[in-house]
Structure 1
Amino acid sequence: MSTKTENHPSWVQPYLDSTEKQQALYKRTLLIVVLSQIFGGAGLASGITVGALLAKDMLGTDSFSGLPVALLTLGSAGSALIVGYLSDQYGRRFGLAAGFLAGGLGAIGVVLAAVTSNILLLFASLLIYGAGTATNLQARYAGTDLANAKQRATAISIALVSTTFGAVAGPNLVGPMGEFAASIGVPTLAGPFLLGAAAFILAGLMILMFLRHDPLIVAKAIAKRESQNHHLKSETATTAINKKGIIAAATIMVLTQIVMVAIMTMTPIHMGHHGHGLQEVGMVIGFHIGAMYLPSLLTGMLVDKVGRTSMAIAAGSILLAAGFTAAFAPTDSMVVLTVALILLGLGWNIGLISGTTILVDATSLATRAKTQGTIDVLVALSGASGGVLSGVVVAYSSYAALSIAGGVLSLLLIPVVMWSLKKPVVEKQLNQKVGF
């Protein structure tokens, strides 16, 4: 067994020689990710809650109410690619820290745009703010770098559930942050972005200071050493299997993102049209974001035990129920609308964890971070599309039509998942040749 260290930093060698050290680093990484995700969740939720309302106030029309979320998500797309590349080249620590800190600067820009009524600055800042949301999602991968196949979904879920604390607190601090903003001469709707700036910057500094023994660098070194003794597998068959897994994972995450973002984006506008106040909007979105992250531990265990594909199908079914519940909710019923948004968050949660786990299963450590960043770009762009189209659909049709369309769209992931279960022809031929 080779013990050469010239292709990796010297501090990696003790982890190669000790499984106990690997497990200790795995647990330490999860702890740091959990703490950073608490702050990151607050930053993520703060902007989402009032972004559409701020745009409506500055633009004076509902037609472009979905634009802030679209810009935020578009910025998230570009940032996902950059964070993935930086992580692949320099490790998770550098990539995640850079993304969170950029998101904090974007939030500061949004506040300045609101103070100066500068639409162009608002749009540019929302793009940069998207870096924080992209990084908040990419942090879930850090916990899987040193996890085995039976721990991956659970590791992802631990990262996501920790986001709940900040994500639920963010929307419910909309009122107090608005009052604080007004007291210092900042527009009320820009208040939550003050919280977002502090949250993302704190998350970035935490990653930068404490994630010093990088899990991805260690995992790559371990994988490289182990691969030296495994040359008998058919690379062609493995590639075919991996491509199907990557396609299935991308489809699951893209469709769930489109449906979730589209319906969530227009819910505050829909509520405002029917007399609900900012505090009520914050409460409904808070329940929604709680459902996006709080069930993660249970979801992760189910994905590991019940199976990736079964849970992905469950995600599509739940999103269908969410769409129809939102469509037919009485306009004066906070309870039914809250249930719809909880189902929307739950469907997204299951889709994200099952899709992410399938993606990790289908990629090798040599290219995993870069592939994860690329897939997250598609996810972010799909969210941007959902955000833009949601405002147009509601402006020219209705919130009910948007919700029904989203629910029906989510069912498309089922045939893709079923297709991914079929073994590639090349694998069948290989199995016949080697006697499996």
Structure 2
Amino acid sequence: MGMEKVETASEHVSKEQRKTLYRKVLVVVSISQILGGAGLAAGITVGALLAQQMLGTDAYAGLPAALFTLGSAVAAWAVGRLSQRYGRRTGLAAGFAVGGLGSAGVVLAAIFNSVFLLFAALFIYGAGTATNLQARYAGTDLADRKQRATAVSITMVMTTFGAVAGPNLVSVMGNAALSIGIPALAGPFLLSGAAFLLAGLFLFVMLRPDPLTMAKKLAVQEEVLTRDGAVAAAVNKRGLAVGAVVMVLTQMVMVAIMTMTPVHMGHHGHGLREIGMVIGFHIGAMYLPSLVTGVLVDKFGRTAMSIASGVTLLLAGLVAALAPDDSVVLLIVALSLLGLGWNFGLISGTAQIIDSTTPFTRAKTQGTLDVFVALAGASGGALSGMVVAHAGYAALSIGGGLLSLVLLPVVIWSRR
């Protein structure tokens, strides 16, 4: 039945045609990632500060990250299934549109000083974050095995342009918001809403032919199906498990430390400009090294780069914990290492998952696994505020760094 949709309707696709389509998809997805990166940066930079301002306490300052990450979990599941059924184009466009609506809701919540509306809107805003991450898979649909990690990295490195610009526009957007009667901390969400909506519209118009649909046609052409039409059992369960654990742990550690850094800096006299600079370096380190990371993952293997991820996250936690409260430079170093460790883990884990699936189950499997990644981030965000309130920022940083070492035995198990 599923075969009928891709069967003889598929024309023969040559290797040259596949290469051309692969390059086109990478360009389209990369442009959407620039816009999506600008959108996700707003919530990361000022979400915790907005909640702190409206609630009047630090204990729940981690809730915004938890909420938009929880929202991204639901969205990852939905986008994965929409993409599996209707193609990447429909799934990604819908996810970005919902994220844009969530950004608008945050602005309204700030205007009316409604905490309930703020939390509901942040949950919906999470759809944009999930979709931006799901888009990395679209670039791999037409890649061969030796290009997969590199394809992920190309789309992610393009996110850098928007993601680094976003935090550094915090002050500008804050002033722009004040000029039209909107609270300053809601200003970045104006940028976020416009960026998400534009990303979704661009993908909907330009992502033709759909890469996942073409991958299914190529799979039939290359006889991935068995004689009776059932999908071949080519799913490597161990690869899925290891890829998921790597991404889950790196996401949890990264979100926990990242969420409370702006609050920690605010307590020690740093303004929005310094906070925006630190988060800008952090997001740059999350995405900018991607081009090199992808090549390294394809060349040296998924295992080696997963181990590098755990070690780098441990260093990030130690530097953050030991940095003097007034040292912006050391916080930049710590958050840059945090972003780099996350980058290593996400790309190596993503490559494992792509290696372990077929086009006929890939999108929904990716969506399901991204749910666990998002829930890990939600847990890290929710617990981070409570840990800092009771034990301090240094304890959170050291604890996160030590947690990342769990990656080592998992990766060693995968090699057995």
Question: TM-score if structure 1 supplies the norm length?
Answer: 0.92
- 2:185 corresponds to which residue? 189
Decide which of 28, 49, 55 is 2:51's aligned counterpart.
55
* 2:306 aligned with 1:312: yes
Is the 1:322–1:344 contact (alpha carbons within 8 Å) kept by the matching residues of 2? yes
SS at match of 1:144: coil
Task: Number of aligned residue pairs: give it.
Answer: 414
Decide which of 269, 274, 284 is 2:268's aligned counterpart.
274
In the TM superposition, what are the counterparts of 1:14-25 in structure 2 within 5 Å? 14=11, 16-25=12-21
SS at match of 1:61: coil
Distance 2:103 2:335 in 1: 25
Decide which of 5, 8, 18 is 1:8's aligned counterpart.
5
* 2:89 aligned with 1:93: yes
Decide which of 212, 217, 224 is 2:220's aligned counterpart.
224
Distance 1:19 1:82 in 2: 32
Deviations 1:269-289 (A, max 9, x none): 100111111110000000000
In the TM superposition, what are the counterparts of 1:71-90 in structure 2 within 5 Å? 71-90=67-86
Distance 2:359 2:250 in 1: 26
Q: 1:226, CA displacement in angstroms? A: 2.1
Q: 1:36, CA displacement in angstroms? A: 0.3
Q: Runs of 4 or more off by more than 6 Å in structure 1?
A: 9-12
| Structure 1 residue runs without a partner (length 5+) | 423-436
- 2:319 corresponds to which residue? 325
Q: What letter is aligned with 1:118?
A: S
- 1:395 corresponds to which residue? 389
Q: 1:21, CA displacement in angstroms? A: 1.7
Distance 1:110 1:284 in 2: 23
Distance 2:248 2:111 in 1: 35
Is the 1:323–1:407 contact (alpha carbons within 8 Å) kept by the matching residues of 2? yes
Is the 1:258–1:385 contact (alpha carbons within 8 Å) kept by the matching residues of 2? yes
* 2:365 aligned with 1:368: no
Is the 2:234–2:357 contact (alpha carbons within 8 Å) kept by the matching residues of 1? no
Q: 1:364, CA displacement in angstroms? A: 1.3
Is the 1:12–1:218 contact (alpha carbons within 8 Å) kept by the matching residues of 2? no
Alpha carbons of structure 1 residues 267 and 11: separation in structure 2 relative to 1, 3 Å: farther
Q: 1:236, CA displacement in angstroms? A: 10
* 2:100 aligned with 1:104: yes
Of the structure 1 ranges 314-323 and 21-30, higher mean CA displacement relative to structure 2 is found in 21-30
Decide which of 106, 127, 137 is 2:123's aligned counterpart.
127
Alpha carbons of structure 1 residues 93 and 195: separation in structure 2 relative to 1, 3 Å: same
- 1:291 corresponds to which residue? 285
User: Larger Rg: 1 or 2?
Assistant: 1
Question: TM-score if structure 2 supplies the norm length?
Answer: 0.96
- 1:201 corresponds to which residue? 197
Q: 1:13, CA displacement in angstroms? A: 3.0
Distance 1:185 1:306 in 2: 54
Of the structure 1 ranges 118-127 and 219-228, higher mean CA displacement relative to structure 2 is found in 219-228
Alpha carbons of structure 1 residues 229 and 261: separation in structure 2 relative to 1, 3 Å: closer
| Structure 2 residue runs without a partner (length 5+) | none
Deviations 1:50-95 (A, max 9, x none): 0000000111111000000100000000000000000000000000
CA RMSD of aligned residues (A): 1.9
Distance 2:408 2:354 in 1: 20
* 2:67 aligned with 1:67: no
Deviations 1:281-338 (A, max 9, x none): 0000000000000000000000000111000000000000000000000111111111
Q: 1:399, CA displacement in angstroms? A: 0.2
- 1:337 corresponds to which residue? 331
In the TM superposition, what are the counterparts of 1:138-157 in structure 2 within 5 Å? 138-157=134-153
Distance 1:409 1:28 in 2: 40
SS at match of 1:213: coil
Alpha carbons of structure 1 residues 65 and 257: separation in structure 2 relative to 1, 3 Å: same
SS at match of 1:411: helix
Alpha carbons of structure 1 residues 96 and 228: separation in structure 2 relative to 1, 3 Å: closer
- 2:249 corresponds to which residue? 255
